[in-house]
Structures are given as C-alpha cells and as structure tokens.
Structure 1
Amino acid sequence: MTIQAALAIDLGGTELRAALVDREGKIRAFAAVPTQAHAGPDAVIGQIEALAATVYAEAPALAIVGVGVGAPGPLDPQAGIAVGPPTLAGWLDVPLADILERRLGLPVRLENDANAAALGEWRFGAGHGARSLVFVTVSTGIGGGVVVDGRILHGRRGLAAEIGHMTITNEGERCICGVVGCFEAIASGTALGRRATAATTAGDGSTLRRLSADAEVTGRHVVEATRLRDGLASALLDEEARWLGVGFTNLLHLYSPDVLVVGGGIANGLDLMLPTIEATIRQRAMRAYRDVPVVQAQLGRHAGLVGAASLVLFDDVGTLAARMPVGPSTYPDQRRDFNG
C-alpha cells in the first residue's frame, strides 16, 4: 500500500528545514541547512529545491501529494505571496507558492510559520481533539496562531493573531515595533533575560552569572537557575509568569479556546510558572474563562513542519472545517473549578 505524504518546508531566517510527513503526523525524512537569508529569494528557493531532493532520496517509496510551506510574515496565504519578511533580505512580494509549484511540480500551500505551528499542535499535538486552540510561542519574541472551529484564523490580509504586539501595559521597554508595552517586549524570553542581566553583574558569583559564564543572562538561564532553587531566578521567573498570565487572560477573553498551548524555549519552564499563571488567570479572567487548560506544546521544533504538511494532507479545498467532525470538542476535560 502506497503511503501518502507531504513535503513540508519551514523557512526560517536562520535555518531552512524540510521534511516528508505522512497522514499520521510522522516525519519520514528530514534535512536542514543554514538559510542564505541575505542572498535573496533565488538563492533560498534553490536551497528549497536541494532540500526537497535530499528528503525525496531518503524515502523514495512515499507518494508526495503536495508542498506545505511555513514562512515568516507578513505574507498573503491566499495568494501564496511572501510580502516582506524582515528576516529575509530582498523578499518583497515574492510569489513563493507559484514559483515552487513550477519548480517542484506539486501544489503548494503557503502559511505563516506561527499559524503552521498552531495547526500542527491542533491536529497532532497538545491540542488534538480540541475544536479551538490558541498557540503561543515564547522565545526570542512572542508569536502564535489561533485555530477556531478547525480553521486557522487569518483575518484581514492574513495578519490576525499578532499576539506579541498586544498592549499589556503602558510602561516598560520599547518594542522593536516602536511601541511601549507590547506583550513581546515585556514577557518574551529576551525580555526575561534582559531583566536578569540587569539584576546581576559580571563576576558577582550569582547562579545566573555562573550559568551564563558572566555573559548576558538568557531566559533559559533563569529557568535553569530556578530549578537549582536560586532565589533571584525564582523571583524573576515568577514575575515572568505573572506577565504571561496577563497576556493569556486577554487571549482567553478574545478567542475562548478549548486549550491554550505554550511553546518556545521558555515553555521548558512552564511547569515552574504554571501555578502563578493560573493564579493570575483566576484573578483577572471572567469566571467562564478560568477553566481553560494551559498546557505545554508537544511537537517541539517540528510543530511548524507537521502543520505545514497538514495544509496539504487534510485541506485540499482550503478549509479544515470541511473535514472537521460536527459536535463538541473531544479535548480531554481538564477543567478546574471556576473559583479554585
């Protein structure tokens, strides 16, 4: 029996990854190279072709039905155009889907990378069985995507769910977008590391500085030091959890998902932060929203690849809802008491 699979591409500013993914979400072949991000579209598209040949050679018996591409925004998923991703030099209104269809001879679907990761977690990961999901990645920045009733929420021009640029305070560091108070500027891993660096000094003997070898402290160092029961790190991570709780409360009120899934590097410390996140949600959310589970992503760095493949394997008419069973969510009931 022939096994169907999709060629999935994760186009990042640092790394370009390709995989063959089957209908069970299993990665059958994988390859990656550093992205030639400063060399322009032609060079990167050539890299995609080369990676496609590499993974095809690893699993020649698979029947490849199409190509799903997760790429940084802004982009137009309907037209298949990369509008102008800031991490890729020279990419201005590049008709990426059309180009790849001609080069690879297969139908191509283009999607925002965060949306692709949300879709992967919804179909095969932590959100499996849910009708709706909010996915938040907390790493260098904060991004994410929303799946509502089986559909990726795109909004006008595909720009919905810019989670990192919600305003959650009128104070603090200025975001790279130029605005003060963005969720990303306050609660990203970068912001956490910046606060930890400011709270310590090189050579002070602190756990944080020892872990960072007296260089700048990162969010990962804060999580690691908290696991070592360092008091300063614990306080910093607790502050981080409170800010995440504020942002998550906004997302619960906006989208009312069955589950909120957290990915990215800082999610490795979710078990440490969850009590404070949940306490903040109980304090700030309206009663009907307090029982939504906040869980760690399951697919890790492959979420975007699996989601990109899903665009092709399950969505040949452009709507996931068409293949979605009618009825209530089958997501495991993890509800807590409203007043708990």
Structure 2
Amino acid sequence: MSTIALAFDLGGTELRGALVERSGEVVKRVSAPTLAGAGSEAVIGQIIALADRLLKENPQAKVSGIGMCAPGPLDPKAGIVIGPPTLAGWHNVPLIDILSRQFGLPVRLENDANAAALGEWRFGAGRGAGSLVFVTVSTGIGGGVVADGHIYHGRRGLAAEIGHMTITGEGDRCFCGNVGCFEAVASGTALGRRATRLTKPGDGSVLRRLSDDGDVSARHVVDAARAGDAAAGELVDTEAKWLGIGFTNLLHLYSPDLIVMGGGLANGFDLLAPGIRATVDERAMQAYRDVPIVPAELGDRAGLVGAASLILWEGEPGTALAMVQNEQTKPVEKAAASARSIIERMKESEGN
C-alpha cells in the first residue's frame, strides 16, 4: 500500500476519521458522534479509538503522520486549540503535543475551513488554480484562503473569519455579539429563520408542510424552490443577494482565481448562482467580475483530504503505526484514560 496519512475532521456534531493516500483517495473512513459536551479528554479518546479501528482494519498501512482539522479559534503553528464554541471544555488544549506523544508520529493541525480550502484547491474544484477563497455556507459561514499554494493564516492563524465580516448595519445579532455579520444574514440558519418568520404554523404553505409545521430550515426552502413555490423562490433570491454582497467583498479583498462555495447550502447552488452572479456583476469593480464562482466538489471529504495533505505533501514518510488494545477495556474509555495521562504528565512537567 502506498504511503498514507491518518486524517481527522473534528466537528461539534461528528468526528470523522480516514486513511488518505497522497493522490487524495480516501482508502477507509469511519465516524462517530462527537462527545462535544464531555470535555477534551473524552474527545481525544475518541480520536485515539478511531485511529485504532482504522489501523486494525488496514494493518499494512504505512502511516506517515496525522493531519487534524478542528473548529477555531486555534493556533496551527503552536498546535493549540484555543476555545471553539462548539466543543465544551476546550481551552488552550495542546492537541499536537498530545497526539504526537501518543502515536510517535508527526501531527499537523489546521482550522477546519482552511483544511477544506486546501482539499478543494489540491484535489477538488480548485485544481490548477493559483489561489482561491473557499466559503462554507451551512449552519454558519466559514472559509479559508489559499494564496500561491499556501493557506493564508494571518496572526496566530486567525485570518479569514469570513462569517464575521460586517456587510450590513441591521438585522439579527450574530452569536459573536455583533449585528450585520455575513453569517448572521446569509448562513443557512439565517435563511431558515427568514422562512420561519415569513410563514405560520398551519398556514398551508409549502414551506410549513415540508417542515411539518415546525421551524423551516434552509433545506426546506431549497426543496420548495425546486418545486416551484413562489415564496421559497423569493427567499432564495434574497439569500443569493446577501451571498453576492459577501462574495464581492472577498473578491475585492483577496482577488482570487476563483471562489468555491461548499457547505450544506451548496446543495442549492444551481438555484443561488444566477442571483449571486447578478449581485457580483452589479457591485464588484469591473476587474473582478470575471472570477468564477463554483460549487465545491469534495463534499464532506474536503476537510479530511485537506488535513491529510498537510502530512502527505509537507511531512516526511513514517513507519507503520501499531496500536495494542486490551480487549477487556472499551476502546474509547481506554483511549480517554491514555489522553488524560498524557495531559497530566504535561502539567507535571510544566510545574517542575
């Protein structure tokens, strides 16, 4: 088997793991619901347990390292997860040190949106481009910038918080505390909120029927628009306008070769694209209007593939990773204990 990397995409809802070849092919993939409320030790235990499973099922794998992506804020150079709002109990967790001590392998850490941007640039919609801006539009809005073949990190790796650009002075308050953030007006959550306010339970609308008279989601809006519902079509047009305004700002800021749109709302890209393009053509300066805006190609593999490429394209080949499992101990419990022991030893060494 060719040299491969262990890759992990840590999300607030799901933890994904994979063995990925240098070609970008995902050889084997596993996942588990993230124990997001249980603290860092429990989640690190999950990572170790999934790694064990992957390697037991692929004993000939020549693993060169571990690529890890996680929600920010995080510091990729220091290898520290600073404090993502979707993961309870994560405060300045030295994830690279913990995993490298556990496995004896090189470990690389990257923001999840940056990793997805890298994956799309190297193996997806951005193949052959010198630079791109990747925008993920889902529950929130995130993104990453690849410029001249490198992720643009900025100070402490905190660059490209695309969702928190201020694009209006009005509207709902963002979870960050500001009003008018790109995320607050153009995310899938924002689209669903507008649709819910537009309709009422029991009003007989297509949107409420699709939602079983509950809150309307962005997916319901897209499905209703595909079915020809006029109200949903207007909501899609409004969403496209806000996306177009945000994308115009990104064009003016970064001047990329293309913008790649991913995330859950990319499932409706064909409906959104005409309105996005019309807004960009109206608002962008002439020199920026020819930049393509395209849908992502890798789907939820982008983060895994991007994380793996941090190792496979920049790290040195390693040796096969063997892990011994006590069959009498549940994998996650044992792995969590191992992670806890490493953290305790690190704390002791810092105190001496």
- With normalisation by structure 2, the TM-score equals 0.89
- Tell me the number of residue pairs that the alignment of Structure 1 and Structure 2 aligns: 316
Matches within 5 A, 1:1-340: 2-316=1-315
How far is the alpha carbon of 1:57 from its aligned partner? 2.0
CA–CA distance in structure 1, aligned partners of residues 290 and 83 of structure 2: 39
- The answer to whether the Cα contact below 8 Å between 1:5 and 1:21 also exists between their aligned partners in 2 is yes
Q: Which has the larger radius of gyration?
A: 2
How far is the alpha carbon of 1:95 from its aligned partner? 0.6
Q: Where in structure 1 are there 5+ consecutive unaligned residues?
A: 318-340
CA–CA distance in structure 2, aligned partners of residues 276 and 47 of structure 1: 42
Equivalent position amino acid for 1:135 in 2: F
RMSD: 0.9
Match of 1:327 in 2: none
CA–CA distance in structure 2, aligned partners of residues 169 and 40 of structure 1: 36
How far is the alpha carbon of 1:316 from its aligned partner? 2.6
CA–CA distance in structure 1, aligned partners of residues 38 and 242 of structure 2: 38
- The answer to whether the Cα contact below 8 Å between 1:28 and 1:59 also exists between their aligned partners in 2 is no
- The answer to whether the Cα contact below 8 Å between 2:81 and 2:93 also exists between their aligned partners in 1 is yes
Please give the per-residue CA displacement for 1:109-133, whole angstroms capped at 9, x wherever unaligned.
Answer: 0000110010000000000110101
Give secondary structure in 2 for the equivalent of 1:137.
strand
CA–CA distance in structure 2, aligned partners of residues 197 and 88 of structure 1: 28
CA–CA distance in structure 2, aligned partners of residues 58 and 217 of structure 1: 42
Give secondary structure in 1 for the equivalent of 2:194.
helix
CA–CA distance in structure 1, aligned partners of residues 271 and 57 of structure 2: 40
Equivalent position amino acid for 2:84 in 1: P
Please give the per-residue CA displacement for 1:188-219, whole angstroms capped at 9, x wherever unaligned.
Answer: 00000000000001111111011111110001
How far is the alpha carbon of 1:177 from its aligned partner? 0.7
Give secondary structure in 1 for the equivalent of 2:110.
strand
Equivalent position amino acid for 2:239 in 1: E
Equivalent position amino acid for 1:202 in 2: P
Please give the per-residue CA displacement for 1:201-243, whole angstroms capped at 9, x wherever unaligned.
Answer: 1111111011111110001110000000000000000000000
How far is the alpha carbon of 1:89 from its aligned partner? 1.4
CA–CA distance in structure 2, aligned partners of residues 309 and 45 of structure 1: 18
- With normalisation by structure 1, the TM-score equals 0.92
Please give the per-residue CA displacement for 1:53-90, whole angstroms capped at 9, x wherever unaligned.
Answer: 11112222221100000011111100101111111111
Q: Percent identity?
A: 69
How far is the alpha carbon of 1:290 from its aligned partner? 0.3
- The answer to whether the Cα contact below 8 Å between 1:37 and 1:88 also exists between their aligned partners in 2 is yes
- The answer to whether the Cα contact below 8 Å between 2:65 and 2:315 also exists between their aligned partners in 1 is no
CA–CA distance in structure 1, aligned partners of residues 4 and 262 of structure 2: 25
Give secondary structure in 1 for the equivalent of 2:146.
strand
How far is the alpha carbon of 1:258 from its aligned partner? 0.7
Equivalent position amino acid for 2:124 in 1: G
- The answer to whether the Cα contact below 8 Å between 2:140 and 2:189 also exists between their aligned partners in 1 is yes
Equivalent position amino acid for 2:309 in 1: S
CA–CA distance in structure 1, aligned partners of residues 128 and 90 of structure 2: 37
Q: Where in structure 2 are there 5+ consecutive unaligned residues?
A: 317-352
CA–CA distance in structure 2, aligned partners of residues 15 and 276 of structure 1: 32
- The answer to whether the Cα contact below 8 Å between 2:106 and 2:315 also exists between their aligned partners in 1 is no
CA–CA distance in structure 1, aligned partners of residues 54 and 46 of structure 2: 12
How far is the alpha carbon of 1:34 from its aligned partner? 1.0
CA–CA distance in structure 2, aligned partners of residues 13 and 140 of structure 1: 12
* Range with bigger deviation, 242-251 or 83-92: 83-92
- The answer to whether the Cα contact below 8 Å between 1:167 and 1:181 also exists between their aligned partners in 2 is yes
